[in-house]
A = this chain, B = another copy of it.
């Protein structure tokens, strides 16, 4: 945990911003796997973590703005619990560390809220994303499921606060990146023909766990990098393949990292692989140059897209004017997704609060229709203190090519004949994590080999 004053200060700012009523944050339970008492590893809700910091299941907290009281609802262990789970720090002690003076039994939460509602006082809450929280909200608010109505005021206040990272949060994120860099180095050390994708996943998961980290998300480690969310992991690495490794650690305090590298199963890339890699790396570098306070991330995304198109034209895969190609979204045949997203206590930071609040503004809302842009999670202007990912890629998806080609879609920009030679190419993504600084940006964590030469030299020392 951070210091108690950290949590107190965060709560003071939040209450001031919300200004009236009560703020209800629900902690998580332990999610059942196949019966109630066989559970997945506990992970506290991120907003609860941010304002309270206590990693214990079955808690809720209410910040009574009007009365300036912060009350935690939860139950102490009894002697039976001690027999089964050992002597543990009391909830009261944990609350003191979080700067919370008032603890009440969990079953008093409903009465407190009902009392507020009877007094015509507003109870603000965030969108529930676990069924448990939906049920609990119905119970304590005394409303049917359809009436659950998260508070835009609260969402905006939380997003505003969590978006700008404190120094101690950046330290945590850098720790996560550091472990992730080790994970990526390990993957580049052990990968060899004949290995299964899941063996690499198992090895990097163990490395993270030995550093007291979990994985921030299910890793994508695959020789089919063109499948964007590939969790299959059963393919066998073969000579000539590339491995796309998109994986990141999460620290014990809950902070995430999110890195991607693509490397050859052999010591070196093929000529074709190297050429496409250079195109992605150039787009990555071009995007990075633009990262500074005030830069619209949507513009950074589009600049990366133009950069990719320029490179693809040089390779003969596209033709025409890069600017025009991107305006027509022709690049989305190769780059179907977004350039990056916010990162912090969640790998897609605050995704549960809604992209329209986290990544966009009311004046410039998200484009939810256009293929490509609808997958861009972050479009708004960057601020100093934001932590974001930059992750351009080129993905050769045969099914998508077949559909476009049948429709002759964007044939003014795409050379389908040349593209046929790349049909089994796969996919390449390069991703690092950046802090927006007052004057520009800083890559987080230690350096991880990124150029063709660096990667080939590293691979060659282990193959």
Interface residue stretch chosen among A34-42, A62-70, A168-176, A439-447? A34-42
Q: Given the known inter-chain contacts A32-B129, A131-B130, A131-B132, please indicate yes or no for A83 contacting B202, CB distance below 8 A.
A: no
The CA-CA distance from A36 to B31 in the complex, in Å, is: 13
Q: In this assembly, does A94 line the interface, its C-beta being within 8 Å of a C-beta of chain B?
A: no
Chain B neighbourhood of A43, CB < 8 A: 33-34
Q: In this assembly, does A108 line the interface, its C-beta being within 8 Å of a C-beta of chain B?
A: no
Q: Report whether B209 and A205 are in contact in the complex, using a CB–CB cutoff of 8 Å.
A: yes
Q: Report whether A399 and B87 are in contact in the complex, using a CB–CB cutoff of 8 Å.
A: yes
Q: In this assembly, does A456 line the interface, its C-beta being within 8 Å of a C-beta of chain B?
A: no
What 1/0 mask marks residues of chain A from 201 to 230 whose CB sits below 8 Å from any chain B CB?
A: 111011001101000011000001001111
In the complex, what's the smallest C-beta–C-beta distance from A455 to chain B, in angstroms?
A: 25
Q: In this assembly, does A192 line the interface, its C-beta being within 8 Å of a C-beta of chain B?
A: no
Q: In this assembly, does A46 line the interface, its C-beta being within 8 Å of a C-beta of chain B?
A: yes
Q: In this assembly, does A348 line the interface, its C-beta being within 8 Å of a C-beta of chain B?
A: yes
Q: In this assembly, does A135 line the interface, its C-beta being within 8 Å of a C-beta of chain B?
A: yes
Q: In this assembly, does A134 line the interface, its C-beta being within 8 Å of a C-beta of chain B?
A: yes
Q: Report whether A351 and B35 are in contact in the complex, using a CB–CB cutoff of 8 Å.
A: yes
Q: Report whether A34 and B209 are in contact in the complex, using a CB–CB cutoff of 8 Å.
A: no
Chain B neighbourhood of A232, CB < 8 A: 86
Chain B residue, CB-CB nearest to A349: B35
Chain B neighbourhood of A275, CB < 8 A: none
Q: Report whether B34 and A227 are in contact in the complex, using a CB–CB cutoff of 8 Å.
A: no
Give the number of chain A interface residues (Cβ < 8 Å).
59
Q: In this assembly, does A118 line the interface, its C-beta being within 8 Å of a C-beta of chain B?
A: no
In residues 160-202 of chain A, which contact B (Cβ within 8 Å)? Answer: 198-199, 201-202
Chain B neighbourhood of A38, CB < 8 A: 217-218, 346-348, 351
Chain B neighbourhood of A79, CB < 8 A: 399-400, 403
Q: Report whether A399 and B82 are in contact in the complex, using a CB–CB cutoff of 8 Å.
A: yes
Q: In this assembly, does A323 line the interface, its C-beta being within 8 Å of a C-beta of chain B?
A: no
The CA-CA distance from A313 to B9 in the complex, in Å, is: 59
Chain B residue, CB-CB nearest to A336: B83
Give the most central of A31, A32, A34, A232: most B CB within 10 Å.
A34
Q: Which of B34, B83, B87, B134 contacts A352 (CB 8 A)?
A: B34
Q: Report whether A35 and B129 are in contact in the complex, using a CB–CB cutoff of 8 Å.
A: yes
Q: Report whether A85 and B227 are in contact in the complex, using a CB–CB cutoff of 8 Å.
A: yes
Chain B neighbourhood of A400, CB < 8 A: 79, 83
Q: Report whether B39 and A34 are in contact in the complex, using a CB–CB cutoff of 8 Å.
A: no
The CA-CA distance from A37 to B41 in the complex, in Å, is: 17
In residues 222-264 of chain A, which contact B (Cβ within 8 Å)? Answer: 224, 227-232, 254
Binding site for B on A (CB under 8 A): 31-41, 43, 45-46, 79, 82-87, 129-132, 134-135, 145, 198-199, 201-203, 205-206, 209-210, 212, 217-218, 224, 227-232, 254, 336, 345-348, 351-352, 397, 399-400, 403
Interface CB pairs A-B, < 8 A, 25: A31-B31, A31-B40, A32-B130, A33-B40, A34-B45, A34-B345, A34-B352, A35-B46, A35-B129, A35-B346, A36-B351, A36-B352, A38-B346, A38-B347, A38-B348, A38-B351, A79-B400, A82-B399, A83-B397, A86-B230, A131-B131, A131-B132, A131-B135, A135-B135, A135-B145
